[in-house]
Amino acid sequence: MHKRPFLFSLAMIVLVSACATAPKAANADTAPASEAAAPQAASESNKTSEVIKISTNGKYSFYVNDVENPELTLKRGKTYQIEVDTPGHPLWIKSKDSVTTDNAYSDGVTNNGTYKGTVTFAVPADAPATLFYNCQYHLMMHGKVNIID
């Protein structure tokens, strides 16, 4: 007697799941051609979040995609997961290009000052046009952060 209700429930779950995913698939099939043909770059920049990986490559510089101390351009209203792997070089988002923990920019920033982990930066609508990323100890490990709309 106990087995049948269980199997029935299982069947219902499968049925409900199938129904829930069906409309999505149908929409994808009927998406307008213009939308389907949207350039890859445009859809990338329109995402609400993005991952940025920062390392040191064992040197006294920060690297993003193998570029040394690059200028970063971030958008207001977008959230960035900055994956930091820079042992010995705590990374800070700052309002002023500087060493130590001074001038940390904290609006929308979680885990600022890490060297191993993720600094999350949800760029506020009122963020200034220019910020910086800095090593806590070495001034030559730094870069400019351009904030755009």
Determine, following the binding rule CB under 5 A, whether residue 137 of this chain makes contact with Cu ion. Answer: yes
Q: Which is nearer to Cu ion, 89 or 94 (CB)?
A: 89
Q: Which of 80, 84, 89, 108 is the binder for Cu ion (CB under 5 A)?
A: 89
Residues 105/96, Cβ–Cβ less than 8 Å: no
Distance, CA of 107 to CA of 112 (rounded, Å) = 10
Q: Nearest Cα to 103, choosing from 111, 112, 114?
A: 112
Q: Which of 141, 142, 143, 145 is the binder for Cu ion (CB under 5 A)?
A: 141
Considering only the stretches 6-14, 15-23, 100-108, 141-149, report the one whose residues sit in contact with Cu ion under the rule CB under 5 A: 141-149
Q: Which is nearer to Cu ion, 74 or 134 (CB)?
A: 134
Question: Using only C-alpha atoms, what is the Rg of the chain?
Answer: 22
Residues 142/71, Cβ–Cβ less than 8 Å: no
Binding site for Cu ion (CB under 5 A): 89, 135, 137-138, 141
